[in-house]
Amino acid sequence: MSNGQVHAKELAKKHREISVAEFFEKNRHLLGFDNPRKALLTTVKEAVDNALDACEEARILPEISVEIIQLSESRFKLILEDNGPGIIKAQISKIFAKLLYGSKFHKLSQSRGQQGIGISAAVLYSQLTTGKPTTITTKTDKNKKAHQSQLKIDTQTNNPEILNEQEIDWEEKDHGTKIEMELEGHYFKGKQSVDQYLKETAIVNPHTTIIYTNPLAEQIIFPRATDELPVEPVEIKPHPYGVELGMLIKMLQNTAGKTLQAFLIHDFSRVGPNTAKEICENSSLLPNSKPKTISREMAEQLYNGIIKTKIIAPPTNCLSPITADALEKGLRKEINAEFYTSVTRPPSVYRGNPFQIECALAYGGEQEKDQTIHLLRFANRVPLIYQPGGCAITQAVQQIAWNPYGLSQSRKALPVGPCTIVVHMASVWVPFTSEAKEALASYPEILKELKLAIRECGRKLGLFINKKKRLHAESKKRSYIETYIPYISEALHELLKIKKDEQEKINQLLYQILEKQRGILEKIEIDNPDYDEDLAKIGNEKEEFSLEEELVTPKTKPQETQPPKINKKDKQTTLIK
């Protein structure tokens, strides 16, 4: 035996299959669990996304309770409860404790979750950082008992491990699901905080009530602003243009269609008999070939044939935009500005996936003048908090020339000015740059639509800023003119001996003449009855508040045995001791 063979054999012993769960264990940053701060946010985000999707799918107005309790310096407990349809027993463990198990990966419909990773990744993270299982309580019917189970993920097999299971009474709920998990995290206030995330979620989901209790035991209620559920997104079949070769092969294997033609017609949108025939022709394949017999090479022919064939764009009625009005209203709640505008673009298509861009903008008022604009990004009603730089939305804003619209901007940077821009992308498949779903990938079609939407708001902003400048100049001129009016009446008093009270009358007449001559001076001011001061504060706290940092000092003291309690007051008393 040569040395080489020995090595190969030894190496072969070391090679083994890695499960998805195991992979994640080592690469948690890919799913947004890079550090304790982000992990807490991502966990809340995945749980909330799931709950909202479940409620909306069942056409229930969501009411979600989020409670975060600090157990120790870096350990938190998350309790999330929704009023969704509940989950049938057989699926509970798979949904929460098997990665890539989901209802959404194989269908095309506008939803928050897409790939079935989110919540199980959170469960896995909890398990990795605390060693504890996650408890799921769920109830599907008023007349049934609730089912409670404690779950873990077997990271080697990516299979759920049920530690404990029981039927219990859950009186307060007719139906719904409750998740309880412990995890390592870090709580803070301000930008990129859980508070901010939940607030933004509430703003773009006005049909939702969120009751949030943060680790400081502050309860914040974001009440529902409308009883109307968003238009139900329609599920569509994939469009041929949006399918990659691997996916195509998989679809050929799993299809119920007996012939290639039937497969094309039934499994894709926008493919009728004629188009199917044309695709077959362009691929040099027989329309009556059996899909299961199509080889890899033939599949590649088919793939190229699809590209050659002209196929009409997918239907776009499957999208459920927030609507420009609602987006603008959300902005009004949050910001006291002088000017608001919003636009919803008509739906468009990238790679066979329908999508739609909406944009709203608030300018002036109480916003900072000398800082870069505030950009809020959303995808399928989910706030995007991290990675602004890598996001197509940010890039679109940067690539637009803002100087003509009245904001100053250094080359290809975010503009500077008292302005907030909100951008939302709705799509059956949102192309995120990573599994953590933090930034949109910049497909040319998406970038183009983003720019069109933002530019349209920009143009309106430009008109407003010009008008404001004009009014400012006019008001300066007018007050200059008004300065001299009393001297005119005074001179007339001296010249014609008119009486003092008549002098005042002359002043008034002159003011009137001036107004008649130059028009009524329009005033620009904040007129915003929708503003919600308490809401606006959340996530905008200047000083980042951190429990952990405050606890650094007592940590050095010997009596460290008792973990500090949740409540801020309690904590202070312990410190005094």
Residue 44: exposed, middle, or buried by beta-carbon count in 10 A (0-12, 13-18, 19+)?
buried
Angle at 368 between CA 362 and CA 373, to 5 degrees: 55
Among 17, 171, 494, 525, binds other proteins (CB under 8 A): 494
The residues, ordered by sequence, that sit 6+ positions from 497 with a Cβ below 8 Å of its Cβ are: none
Q: Which is nearer to other proteins, 71 or 506 (CB)?
A: 506
Q: Which is nearer to other proteins, 229 or 485 (CB)?
A: 485
Residue 210 contacts residue 204 (beta carbons within 8 Å): no
Which residue stretch of 296-304, 375-383, 449-457, 485-493 sits at the interface with other proteins (rule: CB under 8 A)? Answer: 485-493
CB of 475 to other proteins, least distance (A): 11
Q: Which is nearer to other proteins, 13 or 497 (CB)?
A: 497
Structure token digits, residue 394: 């940010």
**What is the Cα–Cα distance from 540 to 233, expressed in whole angstroms?**
33
**What is the Cα–Cα distance from 419 to 364, expressed in whole angstroms?**
6
CB of 501 to other proteins, least distance (A): 14
Interface with other proteins includes 481 (CB under 8 A)? yes
Reference 133, options 144, 143, 148, 147; nearest CA is 148
**What is the Cα–Cα distance from 192 to 540, expressed in whole angstroms?**
10
Among 487, 520, 534, 559, binds other proteins (CB under 8 A): 487
Q: Which is nearer to other proteins, 502 or 532 (CB)?
A: 502
Among 492, 524, 535, 536, binds other proteins (CB under 8 A): 492
Q: What is the dihedral of CA 210, 129, 150, 122, to 10 degrees?
A: 40
Interface with other proteins in residues 497-536 (CB under 8 A):
498, 506, 509-510, 512-514, 516-517
CB of 514 to other proteins, least distance (A): 6
Among 12, 90, 256, 495, binds other proteins (CB under 8 A): 495
Region of 131 (left: φ > 0; alpha: ψ -120 to 50; beta: rest) is: left
Which residue stretch of 27-35, 162-170, 302-310, 483-491 sits at the interface with other proteins (rule: CB under 8 A)? Answer: 483-491
CB of 521 to other proteins, least distance (A): 13
Among 18, 413, 488, 521, binds other proteins (CB under 8 A): 488
Interface with other proteins includes 490 (CB under 8 A)? yes
- Cα distances (Å, whole numbers) of residue 368 to 192, 335, 402, 418: 19, 11, 17, 5
CB of 351 to other proteins, least distance (A): 59
Q: Which is nearer to other proteins, 297 or 484 (CB)?
A: 484
> How would DSSP label each residue in 430-491?
--BSSTT--SB---HHHHHHHHHHHHHHHHHHHHHHHHHHHHHHHHHHHHHHHHHHHHHHHH
Interface with other proteins includes 471 (CB under 8 A)? no
The residues, ordered by sequence, that sit 6+ positions from 258 with a Cβ below 8 Å of its Cβ are: 290, 291
Q: Which is nearer to other proteins, 265 or 485 (CB)?
A: 485
CB of 505 to other proteins, least distance (A): 9
Give the footprint of other proteins on this chain (CB under 8 A): 477, 480-481, 483-485, 487-488, 490-492, 494-496, 498, 506, 509-510, 512-514, 516-517
